[in-house]
Amino acid sequence: MNATEEAGTEPKIGSRVHVLNADRSKELGYGTYMGEVPFKDVPDEPAACVAVDESIQLTEAEQAEVSAMVEQLMEGGATTPKIVLDSGEIIFGFQCWWREIDDDDTREQHWTCEKCKATGSVKYQLHGDVMSVVYLIEDDHKRVSPDCDQPVSSIRALNANVIN
Ligand SMILES: [Zn+2]
């Protein structure tokens, strides 16, 4: 179902992942891999486990077979990856297509504020929201120097992009 599984390695809990819907027609964004959870802990109805591709029309017999299979999966303690999207939405591995983002996709951006002389660095995703690094710097500056009123647009982002 995903590139990571094909490669035979399991992502670390907390890994960043890129998520598409089941037939890969829609971008669901980025999220965090939370590890494997038993199917029985998935809040959706069991039938939802196989309703991943709406273009597939199952006959009644096939549907019954699938339902039996899903029930078996649930009772047998089978697991599915749990992913928390950056939007806060929770999605499970069988509901989507996902892959772990390479560590190389993480960059560190250093910043410095000329007014309060504070410096800091934030980690951001290369393929994330373009504005996210600006918000991260704004938050980091506020955290380091809560009384400084320098707008984020005036905080200097240093050019040294360091790979983790
Ligand atoms: Zn400042």
Tell me the torsion sign for CA atoms 121, 125, 130, 132. negative
CA of 134 to the centre of ligand 1 (A): 14
pLDDT, tens only, 7-21 = 456 788 888 888 998
Domain positions in the chain are 3-101, 104-163
Helix (H) or strand (E) run with residue 75 in it: helix 60-75
Average pLDDT, the chain: 79
CA of 108 to the centre of ligand 1 (A): 19
Exposure b/e, 113-123, CB count within 10 A at least 16 = b: beebebbbbbe
pLDDT, tens only, 91-134 = 998 888 998 887 566 778 899 999 999 999 998 877 666 677 88
Enter the pTM of the model.
Answer: 0.50
CA of 141 to the centre of ligand 1 (A): 6
User: Beta-carbon neighbour count of residue 57 at 10 Å?
Assistant: 7
CA of 116 to the centre of ligand 1 (A): 4
Neighbours of ion ligand 1 (CB under 5 A): 113, 115-116, 145, 148, 150
Helix (H, G, I), strand (E, B) or coil at 116: coil
